[in-house]
Structure 1
Amino acid sequence: MSKIDDLKLLTLPHAHQLQTITPIARVEIMKLEQPTTLQPVIYEPVVCLVLQGGKRAVIGDRVLHYTAGDYFVAAAEVAAMGQITEATPDRPFLAVNLLLDPYVITKVLLDAPKGKEPAKPAGFVATSADDQMMDAWRRMVSLLDRPDEVSVLSPMIEREILFRLLQGPSGFLLRQLTGSENRLSSIRKAMSWIRSHFAEPIRVEELAAIAGMSPSVFHKHFKAVTALSPIQYQKQIRLHEARSRLAQAPADAAGVAFSIGYESASQFSREYKRLFGLSPARDARQLQAMNSQG
Protein backbone atom coordinates (compact mmCIF):
# COMPACT_ATOMS: atom_id res chain seq x y z
CA MET A 1 0.00 0.00 0.00
CA SER A 2 1.33 3.44 -0.91
CA LYS A 3 1.90 6.11 1.72
CA ILE A 4 -0.90 8.27 0.29
CA ASP A 5 -3.38 5.35 0.36
CA ASP A 6 -2.39 4.51 3.92
CA LEU A 7 -2.90 8.12 5.00
CA LYS A 8 -6.24 8.27 3.16
CA LEU A 9 -7.54 5.16 4.98
CA LEU A 10 -6.53 6.65 8.32
CA THR A 11 -8.25 9.95 7.54
CA LEU A 12 -11.57 8.85 5.99
CA PRO A 13 -13.22 7.54 9.19
CA HIS A 14 -12.75 10.98 10.77
CA ALA A 15 -14.12 13.00 7.82
CA HIS A 16 -17.70 13.53 8.94
CA GLN A 17 -18.68 16.56 6.85
CA LEU A 18 -17.44 19.13 4.36
CA GLN A 19 -15.13 20.59 6.99
CA THR A 20 -14.31 18.57 10.09
CA ILE A 21 -12.58 20.37 12.94
CA THR A 22 -10.47 17.72 14.64
CA PRO A 23 -9.38 17.50 18.31
CA ILE A 24 -5.84 18.27 17.09
CA ALA A 25 -5.12 21.98 17.25
CA ARG A 26 -5.12 23.67 13.81
CA VAL A 27 -5.80 20.39 11.94
CA GLU A 28 -8.93 20.11 9.76
CA ILE A 29 -10.24 17.52 7.30
CA MET A 30 -12.05 18.43 4.08
CA LYS A 31 -14.37 15.97 2.27
CA LEU A 32 -16.60 16.53 -0.77
CA GLU A 33 -18.43 13.86 -2.75
CA GLN A 34 -18.97 15.75 -5.99
CA PRO A 35 -17.14 18.35 -8.08
CA THR A 36 -17.96 22.01 -7.60
CA THR A 37 -18.03 25.08 -9.77
CA LEU A 38 -15.43 27.78 -9.25
CA GLN A 39 -16.24 29.45 -5.93
CA PRO A 40 -14.71 32.63 -4.52
CA VAL A 41 -12.68 32.15 -1.37
CA ILE A 42 -10.12 34.00 0.72
CA TYR A 43 -7.39 31.62 1.80
CA GLU A 44 -6.10 32.13 5.31
CA PRO A 45 -2.49 31.05 5.99
CA VAL A 46 -2.74 27.28 5.61
CA VAL A 47 -1.14 24.15 4.17
CA CYS A 48 -3.58 21.79 2.43
CA LEU A 49 -2.46 18.24 1.58
CA VAL A 50 -4.72 16.48 -0.93
CA LEU A 51 -5.21 12.76 -0.24
CA GLN A 52 -7.75 11.95 -2.94
CA GLY A 53 -9.41 13.77 -5.83
CA GLY A 54 -8.30 17.04 -7.35
CA LYS A 55 -8.62 20.78 -6.87
CA ARG A 56 -8.00 23.91 -8.91
CA ALA A 57 -7.24 27.38 -7.60
CA VAL A 58 -7.39 30.47 -9.80
CA ILE A 59 -5.49 33.33 -8.19
CA GLY A 60 -5.44 36.40 -10.41
CA ASP A 61 -4.02 35.21 -13.71
CA ARG A 62 -2.41 32.11 -12.19
CA VAL A 63 -3.99 28.66 -12.23
CA LEU A 64 -2.83 25.94 -9.83
CA HIS A 65 -3.87 22.28 -10.17
CA TYR A 66 -3.16 19.87 -7.36
CA THR A 67 -4.20 16.25 -6.82
CA ALA A 68 -3.47 13.36 -4.45
CA GLY A 69 0.01 13.75 -2.97
CA ASP A 70 0.25 17.49 -3.67
CA TYR A 71 0.01 20.26 -1.13
CA PHE A 72 -0.90 23.92 -1.38
CA VAL A 73 0.51 26.59 0.92
CA ALA A 74 -0.90 30.09 1.35
CA ALA A 75 1.08 32.45 3.53
CA ALA A 76 -1.07 35.54 2.95
CA GLU A 77 -4.79 36.23 2.93
CA VAL A 78 -5.12 35.49 -0.78
CA ALA A 79 -8.38 36.11 -2.68
CA ALA A 80 -8.95 33.26 -5.13
CA MET A 81 -11.44 31.10 -6.98
CA GLY A 82 -11.39 27.48 -5.82
CA GLN A 83 -12.89 24.40 -7.47
CA ILE A 84 -13.05 20.70 -6.64
CA THR A 85 -12.37 19.02 -9.98
CA GLU A 86 -12.33 15.32 -9.01
CA ALA A 87 -14.81 13.86 -6.52
CA THR A 88 -17.46 11.11 -6.44
CA PRO A 89 -19.43 9.43 -3.62
CA ASP A 90 -17.18 6.37 -3.99
CA ARG A 91 -13.98 8.41 -4.23
CA PRO A 92 -14.63 11.74 -2.51
CA PHE A 93 -12.23 14.63 -2.54
CA LEU A 94 -10.25 14.34 0.69
CA ALA A 95 -7.65 16.68 2.16
CA VAL A 96 -6.06 17.54 5.48
CA ASN A 97 -5.34 21.14 6.41
CA LEU A 98 -2.91 22.61 8.90
CA LEU A 99 -3.63 26.22 9.79
CA LEU A 100 -0.32 28.07 9.99
CA ASP A 101 0.51 29.69 13.31
CA PRO A 102 3.38 32.22 12.98
CA TYR A 103 4.32 31.74 16.64
CA VAL A 104 4.84 27.98 16.20
CA ILE A 105 6.73 28.52 12.94
CA THR A 106 9.01 31.01 14.67
CA LYS A 107 9.95 28.45 17.31
CA VAL A 108 10.81 25.92 14.60
CA LEU A 109 12.85 28.51 12.73
CA LEU A 110 15.14 28.94 15.72
CA ASP A 111 16.61 25.51 14.98
CA ALA A 112 16.11 25.34 11.20
CA PRO A 113 18.69 26.28 8.54
CA LYS A 114 18.15 29.69 7.02
CA GLY A 115 16.74 29.97 3.53
CA LYS A 116 17.08 32.59 0.81
CA GLU A 117 14.22 34.96 0.07
CA PRO A 118 13.22 35.05 -3.62
CA ALA A 119 13.34 38.37 -5.45
CA LYS A 120 9.55 38.46 -5.95
CA PRO A 121 7.94 36.30 -3.26
CA ALA A 122 4.46 35.00 -4.03
CA GLY A 123 1.88 34.45 -1.30
CA PHE A 124 1.16 30.86 -2.32
CA VAL A 125 2.69 27.74 -3.86
CA ALA A 126 1.63 24.19 -4.81
CA THR A 127 4.02 21.24 -4.96
CA SER A 128 4.32 17.49 -4.27
CA ALA A 129 4.80 16.06 -0.79
CA ASP A 130 7.83 13.84 -0.25
CA ASP A 131 7.96 10.64 1.79
CA GLN A 132 9.13 12.41 4.94
CA MET A 133 6.18 14.81 4.77
CA MET A 134 3.77 11.90 4.26
CA ASP A 135 5.26 10.03 7.23
CA ALA A 136 4.81 13.04 9.50
CA TRP A 137 1.20 13.52 8.39
CA ARG A 138 0.50 9.81 8.93
CA ARG A 139 1.66 10.05 12.52
CA MET A 140 -0.41 13.21 13.02
CA VAL A 141 -3.64 11.73 11.65
CA SER A 142 -3.12 8.44 13.54
CA LEU A 143 -3.46 10.44 16.77
CA LEU A 144 -7.17 10.80 16.00
CA ASP A 145 -7.47 7.12 16.96
CA ARG A 146 -5.49 7.73 20.16
CA PRO A 147 -7.00 10.93 21.60
CA ASP A 148 -5.22 10.55 24.93
CA GLU A 149 -1.90 11.13 23.13
CA VAL A 150 -2.92 14.27 21.23
CA SER A 151 -1.88 16.89 23.78
CA VAL A 152 1.62 15.45 24.15
CA LEU A 153 2.51 14.26 20.65
CA SER A 154 0.67 16.59 18.24
CA PRO A 155 2.83 19.68 19.03
CA MET A 156 5.99 17.69 18.23
CA ILE A 157 4.55 16.30 14.99
CA GLU A 158 3.32 19.77 13.99
CA ARG A 159 6.86 21.05 14.42
CA GLU A 160 8.12 18.24 12.18
CA ILE A 161 5.57 19.03 9.46
CA LEU A 162 6.56 22.69 9.60
CA PHE A 163 10.24 21.72 9.48
CA ARG A 164 9.61 19.64 6.34
CA LEU A 165 7.76 22.56 4.79
CA LEU A 166 10.64 24.89 5.64
CA GLN A 167 13.06 22.58 3.82
CA GLY A 168 10.91 22.41 0.68
CA PRO A 169 9.77 24.82 -2.06
CA SER A 170 7.35 26.54 0.32
CA GLY A 171 10.01 27.26 2.94
CA PHE A 172 10.41 30.91 1.98
CA LEU A 173 6.64 31.42 2.47
CA LEU A 174 6.72 30.16 6.03
CA ARG A 175 9.82 32.21 6.81
CA GLN A 176 8.20 35.36 5.53
CA LEU A 177 4.96 34.63 7.36
CA THR A 178 6.88 35.10 10.62
CA GLY A 179 9.28 37.86 9.62
CA SER A 180 8.90 41.54 10.43
CA GLU A 181 11.46 42.87 7.96
CA ASN A 182 10.79 41.23 4.62
CA ARG A 183 8.76 41.88 1.51
CA LEU A 184 5.87 39.52 2.19
CA SER A 185 5.47 40.84 5.72
CA SER A 186 5.46 44.41 4.40
CA ILE A 187 2.85 43.59 1.75
CA ARG A 188 0.71 41.82 4.37
CA LYS A 189 0.64 45.07 6.38
CA ALA A 190 -0.92 46.81 3.39
CA MET A 191 -3.30 43.89 2.82
CA SER A 192 -4.36 44.07 6.46
CA TRP A 193 -5.01 47.81 6.10
CA ILE A 194 -7.21 47.17 3.05
CA ARG A 195 -9.21 44.52 4.90
CA SER A 196 -9.72 46.85 7.86
CA HIS A 197 -10.61 49.89 5.70
CA PHE A 198 -12.30 48.16 2.77
CA ALA A 199 -15.07 50.78 2.54
CA GLU A 200 -12.61 53.64 2.13
CA PRO A 201 -11.01 54.83 -1.12
CA ILE A 202 -7.41 53.66 -1.40
CA ARG A 203 -4.37 55.32 -2.90
CA VAL A 204 -1.36 53.28 -3.93
CA GLU A 205 0.95 55.96 -2.53
CA GLU A 206 -0.55 55.58 0.95
CA LEU A 207 -0.42 51.79 0.81
CA ALA A 208 3.18 51.93 -0.38
CA ALA A 209 4.03 54.11 2.63
CA ILE A 210 2.44 51.53 4.96
CA ALA A 211 4.61 48.85 3.33
CA GLY A 212 7.69 51.08 3.41
CA MET A 213 8.19 50.91 -0.36
CA SER A 214 8.07 53.22 -3.33
CA PRO A 215 4.74 53.05 -5.23
CA SER A 216 6.26 51.25 -8.22
CA VAL A 217 8.06 48.65 -6.09
CA PHE A 218 4.97 48.21 -3.90
CA HIS A 219 2.67 47.62 -6.86
CA LYS A 220 5.06 45.01 -8.30
CA HIS A 221 5.36 43.07 -5.05
CA PHE A 222 1.67 43.35 -4.18
CA LYS A 223 0.82 41.76 -7.53
CA ALA A 224 3.45 39.06 -6.96
CA VAL A 225 1.99 38.13 -3.55
CA THR A 226 -1.73 38.31 -4.36
CA ALA A 227 -1.82 38.02 -8.20
CA LEU A 228 -4.10 41.07 -8.03
CA SER A 229 -3.67 44.83 -8.06
CA PRO A 230 -4.52 46.65 -4.79
CA ILE A 231 -7.81 47.87 -6.30
CA GLN A 232 -8.75 44.36 -7.44
CA TYR A 233 -7.89 42.97 -4.02
CA GLN A 234 -10.04 45.60 -2.31
CA LYS A 235 -12.94 44.74 -4.63
CA GLN A 236 -12.68 41.07 -3.66
CA ILE A 237 -12.67 41.97 0.05
CA ARG A 238 -15.66 44.28 -0.39
CA LEU A 239 -17.72 41.67 -2.22
CA HIS A 240 -16.94 38.95 0.32
CA GLU A 241 -18.00 41.34 3.09
CA ALA A 242 -21.20 42.15 1.21
CA ARG A 243 -22.04 38.47 0.92
CA SER A 244 -21.38 37.95 4.62
CA ARG A 245 -23.75 40.81 5.49
CA LEU A 246 -26.45 39.51 3.17
CA ALA A 247 -26.15 36.05 4.72
CA GLN A 248 -26.43 37.29 8.30
CA ALA A 249 -29.53 39.48 7.99
CA PRO A 250 -32.01 40.64 5.33
CA ALA A 251 -30.90 43.86 3.69
CA ASP A 252 -31.46 45.64 0.43
CA ALA A 253 -28.64 45.38 -2.09
CA ALA A 254 -28.30 49.14 -2.46
CA GLY A 255 -27.89 49.61 1.29
CA VAL A 256 -25.20 46.93 1.42
CA ALA A 257 -23.47 48.42 -1.62
CA PHE A 258 -23.17 51.85 -0.03
CA SER A 259 -22.14 50.41 3.34
CA ILE A 260 -19.10 48.66 1.84
CA GLY A 261 -17.90 51.65 -0.18
CA TYR A 262 -19.67 51.41 -3.54
CA GLU A 263 -21.08 54.64 -4.94
CA SER A 264 -23.20 52.86 -7.58
CA ALA A 265 -25.69 50.13 -6.69
CA SER A 266 -25.82 48.97 -10.31
CA GLN A 267 -22.03 48.60 -10.47
CA PHE A 268 -22.12 46.65 -7.20
CA SER A 269 -24.82 44.35 -8.57
CA ARG A 270 -22.84 43.67 -11.75
CA GLU A 271 -19.60 42.92 -9.93
CA TYR A 272 -21.35 40.83 -7.30
CA LYS A 273 -23.00 38.65 -9.96
CA ARG A 274 -19.72 38.34 -11.86
CA LEU A 275 -18.00 36.97 -8.74
CA PHE A 276 -20.76 34.89 -7.11
CA GLY A 277 -22.86 33.94 -10.15
CA LEU A 278 -26.12 35.41 -8.81
CA SER A 279 -27.51 38.88 -8.23
CA PRO A 280 -27.22 40.13 -4.62
CA ALA A 281 -30.96 39.72 -4.03
CA ARG A 282 -31.12 36.14 -5.36
CA ASP A 283 -27.95 35.12 -3.57
CA ALA A 284 -29.23 36.64 -0.32
CA ARG A 285 -32.43 34.57 -0.55
CA GLN A 286 -30.42 31.40 -1.11
CA LEU A 287 -28.05 32.15 1.74
CA GLN A 288 -30.88 32.92 4.15
CA ALA A 289 -32.70 29.73 3.11
CA MET A 290 -29.54 27.72 3.78
CA ASN A 291 -29.13 29.39 7.18
CA SER A 292 -32.72 28.63 8.16
CA GLN A 293 -32.26 24.98 7.17
CA GLY A 294 -29.08 24.77 9.24
Structure 2
Amino acid sequence: MPQALVDIVRRYTDTHPGENPWMTAIDGVGILRSDLPRNAAPLLFQPCLCVVAQGSKLSTFGNRRYEYGAGQALVVSVEMPAFSRVAAASPEEPFLGVVIGLDPKLMTEVMETVPTSVHVSAHVPRGVFVTDYDGPLADCVVRLLRLLDTPDAIPFVAPLVLREIAYWLLTGPHAADVAKVALADSRTHRVLSAVQALRVHFAEAIRIDELAAIAQLSPSAFHRQFKALTSLTPVQFQKQLRLHEARLLLATGTVNAETAAWRVGYESASQFSREYARLFGAPPRRDIAALRDTLPG
Protein backbone atom coordinates (compact mmCIF):
# COMPACT_ATOMS: atom_id res chain seq x y z
CA MET A 1 0.00 0.00 0.00
CA PRO A 2 1.71 3.24 -1.08
CA GLN A 3 2.57 5.65 1.71
CA ALA A 4 1.70 8.35 -0.79
CA LEU A 5 -1.99 7.52 -0.45
CA VAL A 6 -1.86 7.77 3.35
CA ASP A 7 -0.14 11.14 3.06
CA ILE A 8 -2.63 12.51 0.51
CA VAL A 9 -5.73 11.43 2.46
CA ARG A 10 -4.38 12.65 5.80
CA ARG A 11 -3.31 16.01 4.36
CA TYR A 12 -6.70 16.47 2.69
CA THR A 13 -8.67 15.82 5.88
CA ASP A 14 -6.29 18.01 7.92
CA THR A 15 -6.67 20.98 5.58
CA HIS A 16 -10.32 20.77 4.52
CA PRO A 17 -12.99 21.61 7.08
CA GLY A 18 -15.96 19.31 6.96
CA GLU A 19 -17.45 16.08 8.22
CA ASN A 20 -16.82 12.45 7.42
CA PRO A 21 -17.24 11.56 4.60
CA TRP A 22 -15.60 14.35 2.62
CA MET A 23 -17.12 14.53 -0.86
CA THR A 24 -14.39 15.80 -3.15
CA ALA A 25 -14.40 17.88 -6.33
CA ILE A 26 -14.14 14.63 -8.30
CA ASP A 27 -17.65 13.37 -8.95
CA GLY A 28 -18.32 10.11 -7.09
CA VAL A 29 -15.09 10.19 -5.07
CA GLY A 30 -15.22 10.55 -1.28
CA ILE A 31 -12.61 10.49 1.47
CA LEU A 32 -13.10 8.77 4.82
CA ARG A 33 -11.35 9.37 8.13
CA SER A 34 -12.01 8.24 11.67
CA ASP A 35 -9.67 8.78 14.62
CA LEU A 36 -11.47 6.11 16.66
CA PRO A 37 -13.20 2.77 16.03
CA ARG A 38 -16.90 3.20 15.27
CA ASN A 39 -19.99 1.14 15.95
CA ALA A 40 -21.65 -0.56 13.01
CA ALA A 41 -23.93 1.76 11.07
CA PRO A 42 -26.52 0.79 8.45
CA LEU A 43 -25.63 1.91 4.93
CA LEU A 44 -27.01 1.54 1.44
CA PHE A 45 -23.98 0.81 -0.70
CA GLN A 46 -23.90 1.93 -4.32
CA PRO A 47 -21.52 0.24 -6.80
CA CYS A 48 -18.11 1.37 -5.61
CA LEU A 49 -14.49 0.63 -4.84
CA CYS A 50 -13.77 1.21 -1.13
CA VAL A 51 -10.02 1.51 -0.67
CA VAL A 52 -8.38 1.38 2.77
CA ALA A 53 -5.17 3.40 3.10
CA GLN A 54 -4.77 2.91 6.87
CA GLY A 55 -6.65 1.07 9.60
CA SER A 56 -9.42 -1.43 8.84
CA LYS A 57 -13.19 -1.73 8.34
CA LEU A 58 -15.73 -4.48 8.81
CA SER A 59 -18.81 -4.62 6.57
CA THR A 60 -21.65 -7.11 6.85
CA PHE A 61 -23.94 -7.96 3.94
CA GLY A 62 -26.65 -10.35 5.05
CA ASN A 63 -24.79 -13.17 6.80
CA ARG A 64 -21.45 -12.42 5.13
CA ARG A 65 -18.75 -10.44 6.89
CA TYR A 66 -15.87 -8.76 5.10
CA GLU A 67 -12.90 -7.30 6.99
CA TYR A 68 -10.47 -5.28 4.92
CA GLY A 69 -7.42 -3.28 5.90
CA ALA A 70 -4.56 -1.26 4.49
CA GLY A 71 -3.70 -2.42 0.99
CA GLN A 72 -7.15 -3.95 0.45
CA ALA A 73 -10.38 -2.75 -1.10
CA LEU A 74 -14.03 -3.74 -0.89
CA VAL A 75 -15.64 -3.92 -4.32
CA VAL A 76 -19.44 -3.54 -4.39
CA SER A 77 -20.95 -4.18 -7.81
CA VAL A 78 -24.67 -3.83 -7.08
CA GLU A 79 -26.68 -1.56 -4.78
CA MET A 80 -26.98 -3.39 -1.46
CA PRO A 81 -27.91 -2.61 2.15
CA ALA A 82 -25.24 -3.45 4.71
CA PHE A 83 -23.77 -2.62 8.10
CA SER A 84 -20.28 -1.14 8.20
CA ARG A 85 -17.95 -0.05 10.98
CA VAL A 86 -14.41 1.19 11.48
CA ALA A 87 -12.62 -1.70 13.19
CA ALA A 88 -9.13 -0.26 13.71
CA ALA A 89 -8.30 3.42 14.21
CA SER A 90 -6.53 5.70 16.69
CA PRO A 91 -5.64 9.41 16.90
CA GLU A 92 -2.04 8.48 16.05
CA GLU A 93 -3.04 6.20 13.14
CA PRO A 94 -6.57 7.14 12.07
CA PHE A 95 -8.61 5.08 9.69
CA LEU A 96 -8.14 6.56 6.22
CA GLY A 97 -10.06 5.45 3.15
CA VAL A 98 -11.24 6.42 -0.29
CA VAL A 99 -14.58 5.56 -1.89
CA ILE A 100 -14.70 5.61 -5.69
CA GLY A 101 -18.08 5.18 -7.37
CA LEU A 102 -18.20 2.63 -10.18
CA ASP A 103 -20.31 3.70 -13.14
CA PRO A 104 -21.95 0.54 -14.60
CA LYS A 105 -22.08 2.12 -18.07
CA LEU A 106 -18.37 2.88 -17.96
CA MET A 107 -17.63 -0.66 -16.75
CA THR A 108 -19.60 -2.06 -19.68
CA GLU A 109 -17.86 0.22 -22.18
CA VAL A 110 -14.44 -0.82 -20.93
CA MET A 111 -15.46 -4.49 -20.85
CA GLU A 112 -16.41 -4.30 -24.52
CA THR A 113 -13.01 -2.88 -25.47
CA VAL A 114 -10.73 -5.08 -23.34
CA PRO A 115 -8.46 -6.73 -25.94
CA THR A 116 -8.24 -10.09 -24.14
CA SER A 117 -11.43 -11.97 -23.35
CA VAL A 118 -12.25 -12.51 -19.69
CA HIS A 119 -13.23 -16.04 -18.75
CA VAL A 120 -16.69 -15.86 -17.24
CA SER A 121 -17.66 -18.88 -15.19
CA ALA A 122 -21.20 -20.21 -14.98
CA HIS A 123 -21.66 -19.37 -11.31
CA VAL A 124 -23.48 -16.27 -10.17
CA PRO A 125 -20.86 -14.01 -8.54
CA ARG A 126 -21.25 -12.35 -5.23
CA GLY A 127 -22.08 -8.71 -5.62
CA VAL A 128 -19.33 -7.83 -3.14
CA PHE A 129 -15.79 -9.06 -2.55
CA VAL A 130 -12.47 -7.97 -1.04
CA THR A 131 -9.35 -7.70 -3.17
CA ASP A 132 -5.78 -6.56 -2.71
CA TYR A 133 -4.93 -3.39 -4.53
CA ASP A 134 -1.36 -2.78 -5.58
CA GLY A 135 0.64 -2.01 -8.67
CA PRO A 136 -1.29 -0.18 -11.41
CA LEU A 137 -4.58 -0.05 -9.47
CA ALA A 138 -2.95 1.57 -6.44
CA ASP A 139 -1.15 3.98 -8.75
CA CYS A 140 -4.49 4.98 -10.29
CA VAL A 141 -6.01 5.80 -6.90
CA VAL A 142 -3.00 7.95 -5.97
CA ARG A 143 -3.07 9.80 -9.30
CA LEU A 144 -6.82 10.36 -8.99
CA LEU A 145 -6.47 11.97 -5.56
CA ARG A 146 -3.49 14.07 -6.63
CA LEU A 147 -5.84 15.77 -9.08
CA LEU A 148 -7.47 17.46 -6.08
CA ASP A 149 -4.43 19.76 -6.01
CA THR A 150 -5.11 20.82 -9.63
CA PRO A 151 -8.90 21.28 -9.84
CA ASP A 152 -8.77 22.70 -13.38
CA ALA A 153 -7.42 19.35 -14.59
CA ILE A 154 -10.17 17.26 -12.98
CA PRO A 155 -12.76 17.42 -15.82
CA PHE A 156 -10.15 16.34 -18.35
CA VAL A 157 -8.02 13.82 -16.50
CA ALA A 158 -10.32 12.22 -13.89
CA PRO A 159 -12.52 10.42 -16.49
CA LEU A 160 -9.39 8.88 -17.99
CA VAL A 161 -8.13 7.63 -14.63
CA LEU A 162 -11.58 6.23 -13.74
CA ARG A 163 -11.58 4.37 -17.06
CA GLU A 164 -8.15 2.99 -16.23
CA ILE A 165 -9.41 1.82 -12.83
CA ALA A 166 -12.24 -0.01 -14.60
CA TYR A 167 -9.68 -1.63 -16.89
CA TRP A 168 -7.53 -2.95 -14.04
CA LEU A 169 -10.60 -4.29 -12.22
CA LEU A 170 -11.70 -6.07 -15.38
CA THR A 171 -8.28 -7.62 -15.95
CA GLY A 172 -7.38 -8.34 -12.30
CA PRO A 173 -7.78 -11.44 -10.12
CA HIS A 174 -11.55 -10.89 -9.72
CA ALA A 175 -12.10 -10.01 -13.38
CA ALA A 176 -14.63 -12.80 -13.89
CA ASP A 177 -16.88 -11.54 -11.10
CA VAL A 178 -16.66 -7.94 -12.30
CA ALA A 179 -17.25 -9.02 -15.89
CA LYS A 180 -20.35 -11.02 -15.01
CA VAL A 181 -21.93 -7.85 -13.71
CA ALA A 182 -20.80 -5.81 -16.73
CA LEU A 183 -21.94 -8.22 -19.42
CA ALA A 184 -25.37 -7.16 -20.71
CA ASP A 185 -26.34 -10.63 -21.96
CA SER A 186 -25.28 -12.60 -18.90
CA ARG A 187 -27.57 -14.44 -16.53
CA THR A 188 -26.27 -12.18 -13.76
CA HIS A 189 -27.47 -9.14 -15.69
CA ARG A 190 -30.98 -10.61 -15.76
CA VAL A 191 -30.87 -11.10 -11.99
CA LEU A 192 -29.63 -7.51 -11.69
CA SER A 193 -32.61 -6.38 -13.76
CA ALA A 194 -34.87 -8.04 -11.20
CA VAL A 195 -32.92 -6.35 -8.38
CA GLN A 196 -33.47 -3.00 -10.08
CA ALA A 197 -37.18 -3.70 -10.51
CA LEU A 198 -37.41 -4.46 -6.80
CA ARG A 199 -35.46 -1.28 -6.09
CA VAL A 200 -37.89 0.84 -8.12
CA HIS A 201 -41.05 -0.81 -6.79
CA PHE A 202 -39.88 -1.43 -3.21
CA ALA A 203 -43.09 0.03 -1.72
CA GLU A 204 -45.30 -2.49 -3.52
CA ALA A 205 -46.16 -6.01 -2.40
CA ILE A 206 -43.34 -8.32 -3.48
CA ARG A 207 -44.15 -10.96 -6.10
CA ILE A 208 -41.37 -13.50 -6.48
CA ASP A 209 -42.94 -14.98 -9.62
CA GLU A 210 -42.80 -11.62 -11.38
CA LEU A 211 -39.20 -10.99 -10.35
CA ALA A 212 -38.25 -14.51 -11.42
CA ALA A 213 -39.86 -13.90 -14.80
CA ILE A 214 -37.72 -10.78 -15.26
CA ALA A 215 -34.64 -12.89 -14.51
CA GLN A 216 -35.95 -15.67 -16.80
CA LEU A 217 -35.55 -18.19 -13.99
CA SER A 218 -37.80 -20.44 -11.98
CA PRO A 219 -38.83 -18.93 -8.61
CA SER A 220 -36.56 -21.33 -6.68
CA ALA A 221 -33.55 -20.68 -8.93
CA PHE A 222 -34.17 -16.94 -8.80
CA HIS A 223 -34.38 -16.96 -5.00
CA ARG A 224 -31.09 -18.88 -4.80
CA GLN A 225 -29.23 -16.67 -7.29
CA PHE A 226 -30.61 -13.43 -5.81
CA LYS A 227 -29.23 -14.39 -2.41
CA ALA A 228 -25.91 -15.49 -3.93
CA LEU A 229 -25.55 -12.04 -5.47
CA THR A 230 -26.85 -9.80 -2.68
CA SER A 231 -26.41 -11.96 0.46
CA LEU A 232 -30.12 -11.32 1.22
CA THR A 233 -33.39 -12.91 0.22
CA PRO A 234 -35.70 -10.73 -1.91
CA VAL A 235 -37.95 -10.14 1.13
CA GLN A 236 -35.00 -9.12 3.33
CA PHE A 237 -33.66 -6.88 0.56
CA GLN A 238 -37.03 -5.15 0.14
CA LYS A 239 -37.46 -4.64 3.88
CA GLN A 240 -34.08 -2.98 4.25
CA LEU A 241 -34.70 -0.78 1.22
CA ARG A 242 -38.02 0.33 2.70
CA LEU A 243 -36.45 1.20 6.03
CA HIS A 244 -33.55 3.11 4.46
CA GLU A 245 -36.00 5.10 2.33
CA ALA A 246 -38.16 5.82 5.38
CA ARG A 247 -35.12 7.08 7.28
CA LEU A 248 -34.34 9.49 4.43
CA LEU A 249 -37.92 10.76 4.50
CA LEU A 250 -37.84 11.25 8.27
CA ALA A 251 -34.50 13.05 8.09
CA THR A 252 -36.07 15.76 5.91
CA GLY A 253 -38.41 16.67 8.79
CA THR A 254 -41.41 16.93 6.46
CA VAL A 255 -43.20 13.71 7.50
CA ASN A 256 -43.87 11.83 10.71
CA ALA A 257 -43.19 8.13 11.30
CA GLU A 258 -46.71 7.05 10.38
CA THR A 259 -46.62 8.88 7.05
CA ALA A 260 -43.12 7.57 6.26
CA ALA A 261 -44.27 4.02 7.02
CA TRP A 262 -47.21 4.35 4.66
CA ARG A 263 -45.12 5.86 1.86
CA VAL A 264 -42.62 3.01 1.86
CA GLY A 265 -45.26 0.31 1.85
CA TYR A 266 -46.01 -0.53 5.49
CA GLU A 267 -49.64 -1.01 6.48
CA SER A 268 -48.89 -1.21 10.21
CA ALA A 269 -47.14 1.71 11.92
CA SER A 270 -46.30 -0.45 14.93
CA GLN A 271 -44.65 -3.10 12.73
CA PHE A 272 -42.72 -0.34 10.97
CA SER A 273 -41.49 1.06 14.30
CA ARG A 274 -40.38 -2.38 15.53
CA GLU A 275 -38.49 -3.21 12.34
CA TYR A 276 -37.01 0.28 12.14
CA ALA A 277 -35.64 -0.02 15.69
CA ARG A 278 -34.28 -3.49 14.91
CA LEU A 279 -32.30 -2.16 11.91
CA PHE A 280 -31.20 1.26 13.16
CA GLY A 281 -30.94 0.58 16.88
CA ALA A 282 -33.65 2.99 18.06
CA PRO A 283 -37.29 3.89 17.27
CA PRO A 284 -37.78 6.44 14.46
CA ARG A 285 -38.12 9.61 16.56
CA ARG A 286 -35.11 8.86 18.77
CA ASP A 287 -32.97 7.71 15.86
CA ILE A 288 -33.66 10.82 13.78
CA ALA A 289 -33.00 13.10 16.75
CA ALA A 290 -29.64 11.41 17.31
CA LEU A 291 -28.87 11.57 13.59
CA ARG A 292 -29.51 15.31 13.48
CA ASP A 293 -27.26 15.84 16.49
CA THR A 294 -24.37 14.38 14.48
CA LEU A 295 -24.86 16.74 11.54
CA PRO A 296 -22.82 19.93 11.25
CA GLY A 297 -24.58 22.95 12.55
SS of 2:50's equivalent in the other structure is strand
Q: State the SS of the aligned residue for 1:169.
A: coil
SS at match of 2:33: strand
Q: Indicate the SS of the match to 2:204.
A: coil
In 1, distance between residues paired with 2:88 and 2:182?
Answer: 34
User: Do the aligned partners of 1:58 and 1:81 also contact (CA within 8 Å) in 2?
Assistant: yes
Shift in CA distance, 8/33, structure 1 to aligned 2, threshold 3 Å = same
How far has the Cα of 1:289 moved from its partner? 4.8
Counterpart CA distance in 2 for 1:132 and 1:244 is: 38
Unaligned runs of 5+ in 2: none
Q: Which residue of 2 aligns with 1:247?
A: 251
Give the counterpart of 2:107 among 94, 105, 108. Answer: 105
Structure 1 residue aligned with 2:3: 5
CA contact (8 A) 2:51 2:74 kept: yes
Q: Partners in 2 of 1:267 and 1:250 — Cα distance?
A: 21
Specify which of 13, 19, 23 is matched with residue 21 of structure 1: 23
Measured after TM superposition, the shift of residue 209 of structure 1 is 0.8
Q: Which runs of 4+ in 1 moved over 4 A?
A: 288-291
Give distance in 2, aligned partners of 1:70 and 1:245.
Answer: 34
Query: Using the alignment, how far apart are the partners of 1:64 and 1:164 within structure 2?
Result: 22
Structure 2 match to 1:216: 220
CA RMSD of aligned residues (A): 1.9
Partner-residue secondary structure (3-state), 2:195: helix
Which residue of 211, 226, 231 corresponds with 1:227?
Answer: 231
- Number of positions where the alignment pairs a residue of Structure 1 with one of Structure 2: 291
The amino acid of 1:5's aligned partner reads Q
Write the letter of the residue equivalent to 1:133: L
* Cα deviation 1:192-211 (Å, max 9, x = unaligned): 22222222111211110122
Per the alignment, in what secondary structure is the counterpart of residue 272 of structure 2? helix
**Identical-residue share of aligned pairs (%):** 39
Choose the corresponding residue for 2:180, options 176, 200, 219.
176
Shift of the alpha carbon at 1:281? 2.1
- The amino acid that maps onto 1:115 is V
Superposed counterparts of 1:126-205, under 5 Å? 126-205=130-209
SS state at 1:216 partner: helix
Instruction: Give the CA deviation at 1:254.
Output: 3.0
**TM-score, with length taken from structure 1:** 0.91
CA distance in 2, matches of 1:104, 1:178: 9
User: Cα distance, 1:185 vs. partner?
Assistant: 1.7
Report the Cα distance in structure 1 between the residues aligned to 2:169 and 2:113, rounded to whole angstroms: 14
